[in-house]
């Protein structure tokens, strides 16, 4: 145990008193400096704002730099207003601005005001000034609290490569805790170091190695700018980095096209899977299948309109209500078509084609009469909005959910066909209709329910397509030809064949588009499909059965 004497206690008390008095003096000095700095900053901002009254581009350029250096909290709003022509000067020299929501502010003190005074003139800018404003905004936004805005600001500074922003970027990097934004700031710092004539060779080589890990055109632009007039070692390393980035970009482009192909394939599968069922079981060429898709899309529109009118807060649940309703509406219409028209035309494919084509025209005109000929707005729920990056690919949530939904529908349909008595009867009718009838299976009822099932799945496809395409009376016509191509290529009546052919055609189409163009790619796909059918008339996966009709 340690003991402290009375004399030592007195010394400690004296030291505490001295330390306390010293701390008070330091705080007083800091407060004095702060009190002196605030008026100086206000005076600096006031002088910068006074330059706008000159209505001169050179004076405006000086004002932009001075506002950016002032550190005023309203500087970001001021710059944004100037960039978007919302900054105005009154005849007596007062400066006011409005934000994106139309609220007015006094530019000097940053406080809101009732309105911009009458007679105020908007401050003019030109292209050069707008570039300067964007650079200054990028530097200022490096300090904001919103991570997304900080990252966006870092990207802006990287593209601008304004060397004067280097201290601000380093200061932002020193206090950044988000690893993703810190990586972008390091890449921004590297681009500015490369652009700075004061950087050493070692610094520039290190900056090149940092930019080499970034796979985009901004990094390539910074590296190409660094090769101009640079020493051999720097120019050679920059060129190597450019080649490495371009190779990665080619791979990423191919992967992105494959994803687009999977997305297109999921859409084709949704549109074709119902057709594969009806065409395979009954041999009916249903030209009204596209209109079942359209009915599902319009059912989604009606449900969303009801939610907007009566339950706007529950809008995200609209698709959950629209899915079963679309299945019921399209399925019931399909059963009505089969019972009212198609059952009288079995064995007469040409008459069936013409009759269903006429039904499609009637349904289109009915929808035009009820909803009008123009496109209808169908909104996306919050969970289907936005996008994210995956290995350099841009993945939208809407497309991702449609791919997932397509796989769920396909799995559910397989389960229905393999694990239920209705599925067993449907497969029996598909493989040998006469034998199934002789075994007591009601083929007429199976036909009606199968046609209703295929039409209902088409309606569900319409719900999904309404999230990525225009909802109009012609919606189904955009997919009917592609649906028949998918069914014929995969093998009539074979669901796995439809699955494989939909994704194969989708990926092939998207891989050909960058080389041949969108129109020529579709023509090439059609030509290749015709040649394939010449060799394999029954498609990729032909059904096997003892059909006495064949």
E strand or H helix at 547: none
Region 128-142 average pLDDT: 81
344-367 confidence digits (pLDDT tens): 887 787 888 889 899 999 999 999
User: Model confidence at 329, in pLDDT bands (50, 70, 90)?
Assistant: very high
pLDDT tens profile 243-294:
999 998 888 888 888 998 898 888 889 888 888 887 766 777 788 888 999 9
In this predicted structure, what is the pLDDT of residue 281? Answer: 65
What is the pLDDT, as a whole number, of residue 18? 47
| Domain match, 172 and 265 both | no
Would you state the pLDDT for residue 25? 52
User: Token pair of 298, please?
Assistant: 């319009």
End residue of a domain, out of 170, 200, 230: 230
Considering only CA atoms, which of 192, 183, 286, 194 is closest in space to residue 238?
194
In a domain, 367, yes or no: yes
Q: Are residues 432 and 491 in the same domain?
A: yes
Q: Are residues 373 and 470 located together in one domain of the fold?
A: yes
Based on the domain organization, do 387 and 418 belong to the same domain?
Answer: yes
Q: Is residue 468 part of a domain?
A: yes
**pLDDT value at position 330?**
93
Q: What is the pLDDT of residue 280?
A: 65
Residues 156-195 have pLDDT tens digits of 888 888 888 888 888 888 888 888 888 989 989 999 998 8
Number of domains present in the structure of the chain? 2
Q: Domain span at residue 188? A: 144-230
Give yes or no: residues 256 and 322 share one domain: yes
Considering the domain boundaries, does residue 75 fall inside one? no
Q: What is the share, in percent, of the chain residues with pLDDT greater than 70?
A: 90
Rounded to an integer, what distance in angstroms lies between the CA atom of residue 118 and that of residue 123? 15
Q: Which residue has the tokens 């922003």?
A: 165
Q: What are phi and psi of 363, to 5 degrees?
A: -65, -40
Same domain, 373 and 275: yes
Report pLDDT for 36: 38
Q: Does 307 share its domain with 356? A: yes
Residues with Cβ within 8 Å of residue 512, at least 6 apart in sequence: 520, 521, 524, 525
Q: What is the CATH number of the domain that holds 428?
A: 1.10.3470
Task: Give the pair of three-digit tokens for residue 215.
Answer: 């796979």
For residues 486 and 501, the answer to whether their CB atoms sit within 8 Å is yes
Mean pLDDT for 115-120 is: 88
> pLDDT tens across 64-83, in order?
888 877 777 788 888 888 88
pLDDT tens by residue, 372-424: 888 888 888 888 888 887 777 788 888 899 899 999 999 998 898 888 888 88
Contacts of 468 (CB under 8 A, 6+ apart): 267, 398, 399, 402
List beta partners, residue 393: 390
pLDDT of residue 142: 80
Confidence (pLDDT) at 37: 39
269 and 401 share a domain? yes
Do 321 and 401 belong together in one domain? yes
Q: What is the mean pLDDT of residues 442-447?
A: 84
Who wins on pLDDT, 16 or 86?
A: 86
Q: What is the dihedral of CA 473, 475, 476, 478, to 10 degrees?
A: 130
**Per-residue model confidence (pLDDT) at position 29:** 41
The pLDDT confidence band at residue 543, using thresholds 50, 70 and 90, is low
Q: What are the C-alpha distances in Å from 354 to residues 273, 350, 481?
A: 22, 6, 15
Evaluate if residue 480 carries a pLDDT over 50: yes
Helix (H) or strand (E) holding 105: strand 104-106
* 483 found inside a domain: yes
């Amino acid at each position: 145990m340690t003991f402290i004497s009375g004399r030592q206690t007195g010394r400690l008390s004296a030291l505490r008193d001295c330390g306390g008095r010293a701390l008070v003096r330091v705080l007083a000095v800091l407060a004095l400096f702060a009190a002196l700095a605030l008026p100086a900053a206000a005076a600096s901002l006031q002088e910068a704002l006074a330059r706008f009254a000159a209505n001169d581009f050179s004076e405006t350029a000086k004002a932009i730099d001075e506002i950016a250096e002032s550190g005023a909290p309203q500087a970001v709003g001021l710059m944004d207003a100037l960039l978007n022509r919302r900054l105005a000067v009154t005849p007596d020299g007062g400066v006011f601005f409005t934000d994106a929501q139309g609220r007015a502010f006094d530019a000097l003190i940053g406080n809101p005001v009732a309105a911009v005074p009458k007679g105020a003139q908007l401050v003019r800018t030109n292209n050069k000034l707008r570039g300067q404003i964007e650079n200054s905004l990028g530097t200022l936004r490096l300090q904001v609290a919103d991570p997304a805005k900080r990252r966006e600001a870092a990207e802006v500074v990287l593209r601008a490569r304004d060397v004067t922003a280097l201290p601000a970027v380093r200061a932002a990097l020193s206090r950044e805790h988000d690893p993703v934004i810190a990586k972008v700031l390091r890449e921004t710092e590297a681009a500015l170091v490369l652009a700075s004539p004061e950087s050493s060779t070692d610094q520039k080589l290190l900056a090149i190695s940092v930019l080499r890990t970034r796979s985009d055109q901004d990094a390539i632009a910074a590296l190409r700018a660094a090769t101009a007039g640079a020493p051999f070692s720097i120019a050679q390393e920059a060129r190597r980095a450019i080649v490495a980035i371009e190779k990665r970009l080619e791979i990423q482009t191919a992967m992105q096209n494959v994803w687009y192909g999977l997305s297109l394939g999921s859409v084709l599968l949704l549109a074709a899977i119902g057709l594969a069922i009806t065409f395979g079981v009954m041999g009916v060429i249903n030209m009204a299948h596209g209109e079942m898709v359209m009915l599902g899309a319009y059912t989604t529109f009606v449900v969303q309109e009801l939610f907007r009118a009566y339950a706007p807060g529950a809008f995200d649940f609209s698709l959950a209500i629209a899915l079963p309703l679309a299945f019921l509406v399209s399925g019931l219409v399909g059963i009505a078509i089969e019972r009212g028209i198609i059952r009288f035309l079995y064995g007469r494919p040409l008459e069936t084609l013409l009759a269903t084509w006429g039904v499609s025209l009637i349904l289109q005109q009915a929808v035009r009469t009820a909803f009008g000929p123009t496109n209808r707005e169908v909104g996306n729920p919050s969970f289907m909005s936005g996008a994210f990056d995956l290995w350099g690919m841009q993945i939208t949530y809407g497309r991702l959910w449609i791919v997932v939904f397509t796989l769920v529908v396909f799995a559910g349909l397989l389960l229905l066909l393999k694990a239920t008595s209705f599925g067993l009867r449907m497969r029996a009718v598909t493989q040998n209709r006469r034998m199934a009838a002789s075994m007591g299976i009601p083929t007429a009822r199976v036909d009606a329910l199968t046609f209703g099932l295929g039409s209902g799945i088409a309606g569900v496809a319409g719900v999904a397509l309404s999230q990525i395409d225009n909802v109009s009376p012609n919606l189904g016509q955009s997919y009917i030809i592609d649906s028949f191509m998918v069914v014929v290529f995969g093998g009539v009546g074979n669901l796995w064949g439809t699955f494989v052919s939909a994704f194969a055609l989708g990926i092939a189409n998207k891989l050909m588009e960058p080389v041949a163009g969108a129109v020529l790619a579709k023509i090439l796909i059609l030509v290749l499909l015709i040649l394939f059918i010449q060799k394999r008339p029954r498609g990729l996966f032909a059904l096997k059965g003892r059909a006495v009709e064949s």
